[in-house]
Amino acid sequence: MAQAVEEWYKQMPIITRSYLTAAVVTTIGCSLEIISPYHLYLNPKLVVKQYQFWRLITNFLYFRKMDLDFMFHMFFLARYCKLLEENSFRGRTADFFYMLLFGASVLTGIVLIGGMIPYLSESFAKIIFLSNSLTFMMVYVWSKQNPFIHMSFLGLFTFTAAYLPWVLLGFSVLVGASAWVDLLGMIAGHAYYFLEDVYPRMTGRRPLKTPSFIKALFADEAVVVARPANVRFAPPPAEELHRD
């Protein structure tokens, strides 16, 4: 059993494995009181006035207490982050990292701007960890890129992947969780989907092209496509024709 888990972990792509490891270590560390959540949460005043810039990252790593909700989000992270990195972003690690960076930036911006809007500021002030929202963003992007896959929710009913975010949102409401967390993830995911997949088809321009300095951080592996040995994709050399 332990060996199977180890093999499963080693076979994860680099971004998924790194994020999952950081999230589990951070959450366990807080549960054991080795790390204090008060040093991790998103606090704009501490970021700006006391230069605690790490909070812009650490608020995406803590998934609250280790309960059933934590297990659900670890499953979503391990599954949909892995599916995206291995399929849609296969051989494009830098692009996948840039997607997460874009999503984290959008989520942070929404919370900061929302905190300055009257009547909404109180609700946004309660959102101090965006880890669940970033996970939900990945679920949303995957569902948009794989809309026709048939799925089942707890064996109760079946639906296509296009409706997965809405099914999970409804489940969150039923169990009493905040809908804001999932909605923020859906907003960030739709922003990425529109700018990366829809807008380029409409205009021929790609606004979310990955910057070269991010590409330089990752050595993307070339995707090798095997072909049968006896299949020719070009006319044979002239000397071969003369030999016949």
- Which pLDDT score, from 0 to 100, does residue 220 have? 57
Q: What is the DSSP string of the chain?
A: -HHHHHHHHHTS-HHHHHHHHHHHHHHHHHHTTSS-GGGTS--HHHHHHS--TTHHHHTTT---SSSHHHHHHHHHIIIIIHHIIIIITTT-HHHHHHHHHHHHHHHHHHHHHHTTSTTTHHHHHT----HHHHHHHHHHHHHHHSTT-EEEETTTEEEEGGGHHHHHHHHHHHTT--HHHHHHHHHHHHHHHIIIIIHHHHHS--TTPPPHHHHTT--PPPPP----TT--SSPPPHHHHHH-
Domains and CATH numbers, the chain: 1-218 (1.20.1540.10)
Residue 9 has a pLDDT of: 82
pLDDT tens per residue across all 244 residues of the chain: 677 878 888 888 999 999 999 999 999 999 888 999 999 999 888 998 999 999 999 999 998 777 777 787 788 888 889 999 999 899 899 999 999 999 999 999 998 888 788 877 777 778 889 998 999 999 999 999 999 999 887 777 888 999 999 988 888 788 777 778 889 999 999 999 999 999 999 988 889 999 999 998 887 555 544 454 554 544 544 444 444 4
pLDDT of residue 107: 95
| pLDDT of the residue at 52 | 93
